[in-house]
Amino acid sequence: MHDLLSAAWQPLLTTRAVGRGDNCVEHTLTSTNTVLKELARNGARHGSVCLCECQTGGRGRLGRAWSSPEGRGIWCSVLLRPEMPAERAPLITFCAALAVTRAVRRLCGLEVRIKWPNDVVLDGRKLCGVLLEMGFDVHGGMFVIVGTGLNVRRGAYPPELSDRAIALEEVCAPPERGELIAAYLSELELALTEVEKSGLPGIAEAYRELSCTLGSEVQVIGTEERFTGVAEEIDQSGALLVRDADGELRRVLAGDVSVRGMMGYV
């Protein structure tokens, strides 16, 4: 149960920097993103990781809550000081989603996919969510905190979410969390390196192949309007480009809207 605290993931690391910074591993934290952001402001190094068994104030996007009970999942944040202009930083959400997807596929053999912008899904239900936050340290350097919540054991989410959420244990005998963490961190570093070098094109092909949004018919549900169309691409800023019924390509920003498949959540 406490393989995170015994840091079983560290000997498995194959990364250059990610996971090798000023790591913070605790039993209970409010939110790994909040704690790591504070460490980042005070100069923690690129690649620092924050993990805990249990979050008392786990956060989703737009002030939503993230259920993170003790020992049930991987509640993890990574501090990155990426070598890229700030306007490209939102692409790191895709790096993280791609990294989780690849790690889970490799270790569990499950057909998980990426739902734009920030979910990893399995059988139409959410297995993992990504929360990206940006900030500036005391020297004015930009940093990114990329938080992932991955449901491993039953009980990771409350029963009222059971039609939309899933945990690995429901479909397989999950590997040790340490193995998943090490695999995720390696994949994250690889994807980040590609995006630093080439921007979105560096991961676009891999992302498209594992996306359940791109190439699909979607409903875009905003506060003001809703429309259906085919999700064709994501652009360099992370927006989703959807071709509507009139043939017009519309730019959809994460945060403004909810994007669903025609059959429901995915």
Rounded CA separation 101/114 (Å): 7
- Give the residue, chosen from 156, 180, 185, 240, that forms a contact with ligand BT5 under the rule CB under 6 A: 156
Query: Does 71 help bind ligand BT5 (rule: CB under 6 A)?
Result: no
In angstroms, the Cα distances linking 175 to 29, 30, 106, 152, 172 are 24, 26, 11, 9, 9
Q: Which is nearer to ligand BT5, 34 or 202 (CB)?
A: 34
Rounded CA separation 151/111 (Å): 15
Rounded CA separation 3/134 (Å): 29
Q: Which is nearer to ligand BT5, 118 or 213 (CB)?
A: 118
Neighbours of 160 (CB within 10 A): 8
Of residues 10, 6, 14, the one with CA closest to residue 71: 6
Q: Which is nearer to ligand BT5, 45 or 153 (CB)?
A: 153
- Give the residue, chosen from 92, 100, 131, 242, that forms a contact with ligand BT5 under the rule CB under 6 A: 131
Tell me the residue number closest to ligand BT5, measured at CB.
Answer: 129
Query: Does 19 help bind ligand BT5 (rule: CB under 6 A)?
Result: no
Q: Which residue has the tokens 């620092």?
A: 48
Query: Does 165 help bind ligand BT5 (rule: CB under 6 A)?
Result: yes
User: What residues form DSSP beta bridges with 73?
Assistant: 151
- Give the residue, chosen from 4, 9, 24, 33, that forms a contact with ligand BT5 under the rule CB under 6 A: 33
User: Which residues contribute to the site for ligand BT5 (CB under 6 A)?
Assistant: 31-33, 55, 58-62, 64, 66-68, 75-77, 118, 126, 129-131, 147-149, 151, 156-157, 161, 165
